Amino acid sequence: MALRKKILVVTVATAGVRQRIVTDRNSPYRFPKSAYYKAKETNAGDLYIGDDQVSSSVYTDILHASDKGALTEDGDTLYSSGGRDEIDLYHAWVDAASSGDVLLVTIQIKSHL
């Protein structure tokens, strides 16, 4: 199985209004093999990563401009659903302290060549 890299650009339009990292249940990017995220260096404020309750006070991870993180670490997965051992970006959410801030998510997905 070949893997290919894709960068998802997630712009938080309104500070304080959380949104899904992947908004379409049928997206080919919903279940990547790996996912790493970072805040865009030009962001004005913090980004908050978490589940559907994410906010500035409830989050799994907080990112400052140019911070990097990973949705997978030491073989563990976050945001999986239905007992599956995989990343599910449909159930991963982001919120921002400043409107217009950007989350960059680098994923590896199966390539069907």
Sign of CA dihedral 46, 51, 55, 60: negative
Predicted confidence at residue 67, as pLDDT, reads 72
What mean pLDDT, rounded, does the chain reach? 84
Domain containing residue 67: CATH number: 2.60.120
SS3 91: helix
CA distances from 4 to 25, 26, 86, 91 (A): 20, 18, 17, 22
Q: Specify the pLDDT at position 85.
A: 63
Instruction: Answer whether residue 81 shows pLDDT above 60.
Output: no
Integer Cα distance of 57 and 98 in angstroms: 15
Q: pLDDT at residue 65 above 80? A: no
Domain with 94 in it:
2-111
Rounded average pLDDT over 69-77: 50
Q: How many domains does the chain have?
A: 1
Residue 75: pLDDT over 70: no
Tell me the pLDDT band of 43, cut-offs 50, 70 and 90.
very high
Burial class (CB in 10 A: 0-12, 13-18, 19+), 53: exposed
pLDDT in tens, 9-21: 999 999 999 999 9
More confident residue, 42 or 67: 42
